[in-house]
Structure 1
Amino acid sequence: MGFQTPQHTLDRYLDWTVNGTIQLPDFQRGYKWDDERIRQLLVTILRGHPMGVVMLLDTDNDEVRFKPRPVEGVDIHQSVEPSHLLLDGQQRLTSLTQALTGDGVVETKDSRGKLMARKYFVNIERALAGEDCIDESVISVDADGKIKTNFNRDIVLDLSSEEAQRHHGYFPLNLLLKPSESQSWMMHYMMLNQEDATRFHAEVLTPAQRYSIPAIELDGNTSKAAVATVFEKVNTGGLELNVFELLTATFAGDGDYYAEHGTDFRLNENWRETQESFAAHPVLQDLESTDFLKAATLLATRKRHLADTRTRAAAVSARSEDVLRLTLSDYLEWLEPLRNAFIWAAGFMADRHIFDTKFLPYRSQLIPLAAIKVVMADDANLRGPHSRLIQWFWCGILGELYGGTTDTRFVRDLMMVPAWALGTENASLPTTVQDAQFVESRLHSLRTRNAAAYKGIYALLLANEARDWMEDKRLDLFQHRELAVDIHHIFPKKWCFDHNIDDEHRESIINKSAISAKTNRTIGGRAPSHYLDLVERNGQISSTTLDNVLESHLIPAGALRSNDFAAFFAERRERVCVMVEGAMGKQVQRDISRGYAVEDSAQFDSVVIAETTTENAVEDEVTVHGGTGR
């Protein structure tokens, strides 16, 4: 096996993907990058930063004969034979092919998995403000060129025509690598702003049009076994692991630390000590070393930013390249404050009835939460600031804003939340609070615990003074474990199947609640009117007492006792909406009750992760013994 390492311009790569010269081998996975990752890739191009290498395999090979397929979004004739297959770089080149060629519309999804079509623009004025402003200058809009709010009723920004684009100063990135079309666009823009047009062409467009990407090209003598080995190597591991390893080596070579202590600093040993300090807090058990490093980087770059007196102060960041710039002195400065802050965050989670990683909505949100606690110090525990921190927290979860790429949100929250929480005069509303929205129909598509909002609603229900159905115990941290509480169906699966309840309603979070293992065994697959009698008899409680317990779970007891699923579902859905409004401090859009659905379930990825509950086993057990189960 031989290889060479040429470097080609981006426009040449895209010519090859569009005409089929470069295609994908049949074993490659499908395209799956979300909107924010695509946007960040375009930011990388405009900044002129490296995006890594791509790996190509020469198809002039008698032994290796993989069935090729075009890069997604490219329509070529089936008879076109590629000269190279793309082994590594599929997501990047697919994103760039869709965003920078044709009409520039990319078929992608948001951080929650909702399918969407997006188009990308760069704000000329912001891009000219300097490299640190490139990130803020690149935006994505709907495929029709518009940014809408108020559930698509109001148009905030209209970039659907070239005239509108030039009027607002947004250059369409699908013209970036089309010299004649971009020149024509800029010539018309010069009539509005000659100085910015000239600078933008020279400082942004021209360097981007010259952007090049190195390649590793495996020659025609490469065996299939070698291809499999290479492909496995380039698709395992990742930058975050390498960040920790590189910092381990960097810190170990710190001369000042060695001079003071007579030994090298061992980051991996230090991280094990940190993990040991977290051992008593189950919600922190999946926290990764890179999460801790990102929090330290946020605080270190914030300190430099605040001390920088220049007009363009050093940027606050948690990007991987900035984590790699973290010095040992930076790390040691924030080590103990962050250890304490993450432990405080575990207590914050417990107060929200989030007790372990199983029901932790976003591990990533722990990063800014801990950093914010360090900044706010003891003021984070004051009633007023603490209540605003809680609102920010729920907005992030129920607005589902901490999925996907989150580095930019980390920065904005760290810079905005402390002042807002403390009630500082003229403090801005944090973007996470501002951006968060929740619609009634989202409750229909929340069906499994892989969704952050699903876990969040479960935690809110626990915190609603919920008690066990059969034993007079609050579902707090201790009882949650002691009673083996989990989320289970209220109208059992078997009853729903027998009464033709569709999966959208049967599996919705509306038809589930926190139920102990003992109560769940009593429920089995029985009708509610039947199993409630058993709960009363086995628990030796009155109907009134049980009804009050059900109400603590926001369950309308009357509809449950009459086996009226439709009435139960509608009433509990409204109660959950009111609960969500209280947590977010924002109104929930009622769409289902008004005859339409903003968040139709079909808009979300079809992959469903099975619930890790014991309900199926319970119902199967009832069947085996000839009961009313399945």
Structure 2
Amino acid sequence: MAKTTFDTNPVLLQTLLKTCEDGKLQLPDFQRSWVWEEDRIMSLIASVSRGFPMGALMSLKSKIGEGVIFARRPIEGAPVAAAQMQPEQLLLDGQQRMTSLYQSCMRRQVVSTITAKKRLVNRWFYIDIRKALNAEADRDSAIIAIHEDRKIMLPSNKGIDIDLSSPQLEYENLMYPLNQAFNWDTWQEEFGDYWIAKGKPELRELFKKFKNDVLKNFAEYQVPVIALGADTSHEAVCLVFEKVNTGGKSLDAFELLTAIFSAKDHKLRNDWLGYDETSIEKGKEKDDKYEWLGVKDHNDPDLRLGVQKRLAAYGRAAGQAQGVLAKIAPTDFLKAIALLYTKELRLAAIASKPDKESEWPAVRATSESLLALPLEAYKKHCSAVRAGFERAARFLRQQQIHRVVDLPYQTQLVPLAAIFAEIGGKADHTTNNDKIARWYWCGVFGELYGSAVESRFAKDILEVPAWLDGGPEPSTVIDGVLRADRLLTMRSRLSAAYKGLQALLLRQGAIDFRSGQAFDQTVFFDEAVDIHHIFPKAWCESQKLPASLYDSVVNKTPLGYRTNRIIGGVAPSSYLEKLEKGKAGSNGQIIEPPIDKAALATYLQTHCIPVPELYANDFAGFMKARQKLLMELVSRITGHAAPTTAEAAEEGEELTTSMAHDSGLELIEAD
């Protein structure tokens, strides 16, 4: 692999902004706006005004004279002539910072920005000269955002508080316009003349101090710029792009592919987020039929909805805001397409060069493979992959996985959707559906989709369809073995197998202790089903049992909200007795009907709960017996016998709740 070359040089901020204005430094066209919040713009200006660092920029040098790889556009607000320039560099990291500083500190037009209430407004930015020179004042308080008419109104519009609508009013209020941060000579001269005429020539000295202490920080401000060489590979650009961006908006291979497709006049972002009326009208002019999106015509509401919202809403239950596909990222969608496309290339190479395995291209879903995805291949597979994700949602419903939070692996949806996209109607045959279910659960309980997933994806798309056609078992099925001791270390939703086990209990017909209903999709949401302790946490603590045991998945099961309220914090024998006896009111009316003991025992058994041990409050016996029952349940779905020999325990231990939160990991527990 070729070495990635780059330069690291400090560049004057004024020089950078001038190259933006001239079109020498442009942006890859990600088809998105770079409007920043006014508070962030003011904070950035305050940092520059004090000479504080704002972080490095990263750019990619252009190959002059070569074809366009990324569509590009000038920084927002640059003169029209800038678009005609061949850029010397493309800005990869720092788009919002450069856009905000160019518009507020160099361009002589009002700045579009966003308020704290998420309203799009126009603002002029000023520095309060007196506050900026006050060493005791917070510099951020000296940066002022003024309405488009350059006036600040008193509360309830009871008059004008500050009026800066003319240079003379700026002088009078000692407010310096930031769009002259690099060009203060004329303003300084006229400011001096104004105050001499007013009989206060000493204010000229105030401005000189302001110029030396504040404005010169803008003129002398240097920004570190990391410039990637023009020969940097797509893969390296994408990796750097994903890892270094610090501006708040996520930037990844989807953004780069958006710019690549934009150079071919295709609006990838519109496919994902939906087409507005202007875009649809332009499409009509080009006679676009949008067949790659699987829509009927220009009036199809799905065209305006976009793939993202269509998938997020697909298969949701009544009253559910979003379905199980709500967190599908655009890169997930593109990876599924890349799997199908690169598999096509490999099969074609095998057919044409059967004896030259070294020349067969790999099946891949890496960032580099996404950037190498031809527009034609994207259009060919887009509709099928969308249908594949929708089929995946129906499959997950069959497996009793209804919410994003209950998904064992978000990553496993990529090969699942790609497989469904390829096999089409074959998925509806019961034998094939059972095989796909076995593959899915082997991936979950083998915990195979937590890292190095791209190589696993490639194996899946090659091996699973072949398995359905009579080929050998896929690697994921072979590798998907759960160790018995692992059950005792799974304590939270950070573990895919933890979530998988709860779904598997629902799948095999777990019945709620109180209602006697199986947890189909309707009951699941009506009863607010979640994962709860069987031996209640409060009781376990009173018995001085270790949390490492009572918090494990062996002591948890899916239960309805009202059932969990009845369980409370008492011993199992006590809450079982409450369920059997029911509850009567003061006048004898039945509030909670009694439950037959034999029926209750049956309900418990559907949760793989050892009934005698639970009634006896035998925690140790319960844990041992239920561990065995859960392993048998997993073995039935994966086809692997429970390991009978002792295996090496997994390295390390599960994160604590506080550590997971501090690390920014998703962790949602019911109790």
Query: Which bracket does the TM-score occupy, shorter chain normalised?
Result: 0.5 to 0.7
Q: How does 1:400-549 map to 2 (within 5 A)?
A: 400-423=447-470, 427-536=471-580, 537=582, 538-549=592-603
1:287 aligns to what? 328
Compared with structure 1, are the counterparts of its residues 582 and 263 closer, same or farther at alpha carbon in structure 2 (3 Å cutoff)?
same
Q: Deviations over 1:85-122 (max 9, x none)?
A: xx99xxxxxxxxxxxxxxxxxxxxxxxxxxxxxxxxxx
Q: Deviations over 1:365-392 (max 9, x none)?
A: 1111111112212112212222111111
CA distance in 1, matches of 2:9, 2:447: 37
1:599 equivalenced with 2:599 (yes/no): no
Compared with structure 1, are the counterparts of its residues 613 and 412 closer, same or farther at alpha carbon in structure 2 (3 Å cutoff)?
closer
Give the drift of 1:431.
1.3
Q: Structure 2: any 5+ residue segments left out of the alignment? A: 11-54, 57-219, 227-239, 268-281, 294-301, 316-322, 583-591
CA distance in 2, matches of 1:412, 1:56: 44
Determine which structure has more spread, i.e. the larger CA radius of gyration: 2
SS at match of 1:541: coil
1:273 aligns to what? 306
Compared with structure 1, are the counterparts of its residues 283 and 259 closer, same or farther at alpha carbon in structure 2 (3 Å cutoff)?
closer
Compared with structure 1, are the counterparts of its residues 436 and 415 closer, same or farther at alpha carbon in structure 2 (3 Å cutoff)?
same
1:303 aligns to what? 344
Q: How does 1:54-73 map to 2 (within 5 A)?
A: none
**Counterpart residue type for residue 477 of structure 2:** V
**Counterpart residue type for residue 442 of structure 1:** R
Compared with structure 1, are the counterparts of its residues 322 and 597 closer, same or farther at alpha carbon in structure 2 (3 Å cutoff)?
closer
Give the drift of 1:300.
1.3
Give the drift of 1:598.
2.8
The answer (yes or no) to whether the contact 2:399–2:504 under 8 Å persists in 1 is yes
1:563 equivalenced with 2:587 (yes/no): no
Q: Deviations over 1:275-300 (max 9, x none)?
A: 23221331100000000001111111
CA distance in 2, matches of 1:468, 1:259: 53
Compared with structure 1, are the counterparts of its residues 544 and 224 closer, same or farther at alpha carbon in structure 2 (3 Å cutoff)?
farther
CA distance in 1, matches of 2:345, 2:6: 32
Q: How does 1:50-199 map to 2 (within 5 A)?
A: 50=4
CA distance in 2, matches of 1:493, 1:487: 13
Compared with structure 1, are the counterparts of its residues 259 and 597 closer, same or farther at alpha carbon in structure 2 (3 Å cutoff)?
closer
Give the drift of 1:270.
6.8
Compared with structure 1, are the counterparts of its residues 295 and 226 closer, same or farther at alpha carbon in structure 2 (3 Å cutoff)?
closer
Aligned partner (choices 416, 440, 443) of residue 396 of structure 1:
443
The answer (yes or no) to whether the contact 2:242–2:251 under 8 Å persists in 1 is no
1:349 aligns to what? 396
Q: Structure 1: any 5+ residue segments left out of the alignment? A: 1-46, 58-86, 89-220, 616-630
Give the drift of 1:255.
5.5
SS at match of 2:389: helix
1:262 equivalenced with 2:286 (yes/no): yes
CA distance in 2, matches of 1:245, 1:270: 20
SS at match of 1:487: strand
The answer (yes or no) to whether the contact 1:519–1:535 under 8 Å persists in 2 is no
1:247 equivalenced with 2:257 (yes/no): yes
The answer (yes or no) to whether the contact 1:527–1:563 under 8 Å persists in 2 is yes
The answer (yes or no) to whether the contact 2:242–2:252 under 8 Å persists in 1 is no
Mean CA deviation greater in 342-351 or 371-380: 371-380
SS at match of 2:484: coil
CA distance in 1, matches of 2:533, 2:457: 36
Superposed CA RMSD in Å reads 3.5
Compared with structure 1, are the counterparts of its residues 468 and 410 closer, same or farther at alpha carbon in structure 2 (3 Å cutoff)?
same
SS at match of 1:488: strand
Compared with structure 1, are the counterparts of its residues 355 and 259 closer, same or farther at alpha carbon in structure 2 (3 Å cutoff)?
closer
The answer (yes or no) to whether the contact 1:385–1:422 under 8 Å persists in 2 is no
**Counterpart residue type for residue 275 of structure 1:** Q
1:151 aligns to what? none
CA distance in 1, matches of 2:224, 2:347: 54
The answer (yes or no) to whether the contact 1:468–1:515 under 8 Å persists in 2 is yes
1:236 equivalenced with 2:269 (yes/no): no
Q: Deviations over 1:527-548 (max 9, x none)?
A: 1111111222134211111111
CA distance in 2, matches of 1:301, 1:411: 9
2:668 aligns to what? 612
Compared with structure 1, are the counterparts of its residues 235 and 265 closer, same or farther at alpha carbon in structure 2 (3 Å cutoff)?
farther
The answer (yes or no) to whether the contact 2:489–2:653 under 8 Å persists in 1 is no
SS at match of 1:284: coil
Q: Deviations over 1:529-569 (max 9, x none)?
A: 11111222134211111111000111111111111101111
**Counterpart residue type for residue 280 of structure 1:** Y
The answer (yes or no) to whether the contact 1:471–1:539 under 8 Å persists in 2 is no
Compared with structure 1, are the counterparts of its residues 325 and 521 closer, same or farther at alpha carbon in structure 2 (3 Å cutoff)?
same
Higher RCO structure (Cα 8 Å, ≥6 apart): 1
The answer (yes or no) to whether the contact 1:440–1:588 under 8 Å persists in 2 is yes
Compared with structure 1, are the counterparts of its residues 396 and 271 closer, same or farther at alpha carbon in structure 2 (3 Å cutoff)?
farther
Compared with structure 1, are the counterparts of its residues 339 and 556 closer, same or farther at alpha carbon in structure 2 (3 Å cutoff)?
same
Give the drift of 1:461.
0.7
The answer (yes or no) to whether the contact 2:400–2:506 under 8 Å persists in 1 is yes
**Counterpart residue type for residue 570 of structure 1:** K
Compared with structure 1, are the counterparts of its residues 225 and 547 closer, same or farther at alpha carbon in structure 2 (3 Å cutoff)?
farther
CA distance in 2, matches of 1:245, 1:428: 39
CA distance in 1, matches of 2:283, 2:526: 52
Give the drift of 1:434.
1.8
1:588 aligns to what? 642
SS at match of 2:442: helix
TM-score, normalised to structure 2's length?
A: 0.54
Compared with structure 1, are the counterparts of its residues 223 and 520 closer, same or farther at alpha carbon in structure 2 (3 Å cutoff)?
farther
